[in-house]
Amino acid sequence: MDVSSDAANIRDPMSRAPRYLLTSYGCQMNKLDSELVESRLTAAGYERAEGESDADVVLLNTCSVRQHAEDRVWSRLGVLRQLKREKPGLVVGVLGCMAEEHQRYIRARMPHVDLVVGPSAFGDIDEKVETLRARGSDEEPGDGVVAVGHGVSGDTIRRDVRVRPHRSQAYVNVMRGCNMPCSYCIVPATRGQEISRPIADIVEEVERLCDDGVSEVTLLGQTVNAYGRDLGRDVTLARLLRALHEIPALRRIAFITSHPNFLSAELIDALAELPRVSRYLHLPAQSGSNAVLKAMRRGYTAERYRTRVEQLRARAPDIELHSDWIVGYPGETDEDFAATVALMEEIRFAQSYVFKYSPRPGTLAADVVDDVPDAVKAERNRILNEVQERHTVARNQEFVGCVQEILVEGPSKVAGRLTGRTVHHRIVHFDSTDERLAGRYVPVRILEALGHSLLGEQLAEDHAEVGA
């Protein structure tokens, strides 16, 4: 590796543009944060690297939600330690939730990490990277930049709407942080207190996205249906949805993740009345046992969850439900787990993510012994996934014979097929090689239910009878 020519690249205007490699771990919010980081770097003249070998800057946008997510990053950082020995001019950055959570450890034990930037502090990431690159490779290790803490949000920077992975779809942050007290969860520590963006700002951003070709947005918030409570009584998710519904070019509006406690009558009315709002709701139940829900401090019982779902289904029966579940929470008995299975059987979710409980240092639950053996967690995980699979397949079969409107996303993994999504967020594959359809809405008749997706045939554009 020619180190001197690497260092020369920083100052020589005739050399190639500096290159960055950015890997995202974690939730959709992290993915969107990564897009914002990319837009800053692109504006500063950076190009995307092919891999570690041609990168001048390697950034990891990290997640702390479970140990497994962190382990992947620790092991990647081990590899980067070696790379940095070979290439001292390389800038290595840890961004996101692990930067917030483990800043001291990283600074003390990982001198090859130059940049530690929490999820609220990357608004000027390009300047931070430039500062580090300009100093060259002769500085002492450990002289890097640390920017953590809450308040300075990436959203304070006007977003470059052109930088996004999909032409017709976009994520939009409506709030940051989380004020909920869930005992197991690290997110409030990494992302800080709730800060909602004003409705006018969000509408303005979505209009600019639509002007650039977007027709589907997914609004993001850890408790997205609590949106606005820090801005006064008149600011709610329902009102935001109504305001966005006025934008003519916007055909689909989705939002994640909802908390059962904030599923208000006003929001249910909006779901029932606004046809362009996507027909699914991510409403994590976490458990069906009242004892476990109480220990988790979720703030509702299984009965209250059921009641909320009944109210929703009475007004908007076409909305499908998605859930997250944690198995093996401390003290979870066989009876508790049976109650979780019962809730899942009863509600019949369209989709679920099941997680084995992972203690997070610093959370309330971490003070309680993690007493459910891993083998038991694994078995409960398997059972819950099996029940969900049965429901997913059964529901998929109900779509066979129906015509669905698909927003085409692009080629499927199978050659000769395209992939898109229904308004319920279901994946549909169909035979076509016409990649110009990407970003268009096409009618597709569903022919077959696969495990996690549907197979269909494209109909003529003017086919009118779309419906489940």
Q: How far is the CB of 24 from ligand F3S (least distance, A)?
A: 9
Structure tokens given for 166: 């999909």
- By CB under 6 A, the residues from 92 to 111 that bind ligand F3S are 96-97
- Residue of 223, 278, 358, 404 interacting with ligand SF4 (CB under 6 A): 223
Q: How far apart are CA 50 and CA 383, in angstroms?
A: 41
**According to the binding rule CB under 6 A, does residue 120 interact with ligand F3S?**
no
Structure tokens given for 222: 């850890």
* 172/408 with CB nearer ligand F3S: 172
What are the DSSP E strand ranges found in 17-168? 19-24, 47-48, 57-62, 91-96, 115-117, 145-147
Choose one: 32-40, 86-94, 357-365, 371-379; the region binding ligand SAH (CB under 6 A): 357-365
**According to the binding rule CB under 6 A, does residue 354 interact with ligand SF4?**
no
Contact pattern from residue 306 through residue 325 relative to ligand SAH, giving x for each residue in contact according to CB under 6 A and a dash for the rest: ------------------x-
- By CB under 6 A, the residues from 242 to 261 that bind ligand SF4 are 259
Choose one: 184-192, 383-391, 411-419, 441-449; the region binding ligand SAH (CB under 6 A): 184-192
- By CB under 6 A, the residues from 251 to 290 that bind ligand SAH are 257, 259, 284, 286
- Residue of 227, 300, 337, 357 interacting with ligand SAH (CB under 6 A): 357
Choose one: 69-77, 146-154, 352-360, 400-408; the region binding ligand SAH (CB under 6 A): 352-360
Angle of CA points 460, 464, 465, to nearest 5°: 115
Residue of minimal Cβ distance to ligand F3S: 26
Cβ-based burial of 155 (10 A; exposed 0-12, middle 13-18, buried ≥19): buried
* 95/224 with CB nearer ligand SF4: 224
**According to the binding rule CB under 6 A, does residue 92 interact with ligand SAH?**
no
The b-or-e profile of 117-153 (16+ CB within 10 A means b, else e) is: bbbbbbbbbbebbbebbeeebeeeeeebbbbbebeeb
CA distances from residue 393 to 331, 401, 444 in whole angstroms, order as listed: 32, 15, 19
Contact pattern from residue 35 through residue 64 relative to ligand F3S, giving x for each residue in contact according to CB under 6 A and a dash for the rest: ----------------------------xx
Which helix H or strand E contains 324, and what residues bound it? Answer: strand 320-327
**According to the binding rule CB under 6 A, does residue 187 interact with ligand SF4?**
yes
The b-or-e profile of 436-452 (16+ CB within 10 A means b, else e) is: ebbbebbbbbbeebeee
DSSP states of 45-89 as a string?
T-EE-SSGGG-SEEEEEE--SSHHHHHHHHHHHHHHHHHHHH-TT
Q: How far apart are CA 20 and CA 22, in angstroms?
A: 6
- Residue of 22, 27, 174, 220 interacting with ligand F3S (CB under 6 A): 27
- Residue of 58, 99, 115, 178 interacting with ligand SF4 (CB under 6 A): 178
Of 184, 145, 232, 199, give the one whose Cα is nearest residue 367: 184
**According to the binding rule CB under 6 A, does residue 106 interact with ligand SF4?**
no
Choose one: 26-34, 38-46, 181-189, 192-200; the region binding ligand SF4 (CB under 6 A): 181-189
**According to the binding rule CB under 6 A, does residue 363 interact with ligand F3S?**
no
Size of residue set near ligand SAH by CB under 6 A = 17
Q: Which partner in ligand SF4, ligand F3S, ligand SAH, none is near 190 (CB below 5 to 8 A by kind)?
A: ligand F3S
Q: How far apart are CA 221 and CA 204, in angstroms?
A: 18
Q: How far apart are CA 167 and CA 410, in angstroms?
A: 11
Phi and psi based region of residue 20 (left: phi greater than 0; alpha: psi -120 to 50; beta: remaining): beta
**According to the binding rule CB under 6 A, does residue 98 interact with ligand SF4?**
no
The binding site for ligand SAH (CB under 6 A) comprises 65-66, 184-185, 187, 222-223, 257, 259, 284, 286, 324, 326, 355, 357-358, 360
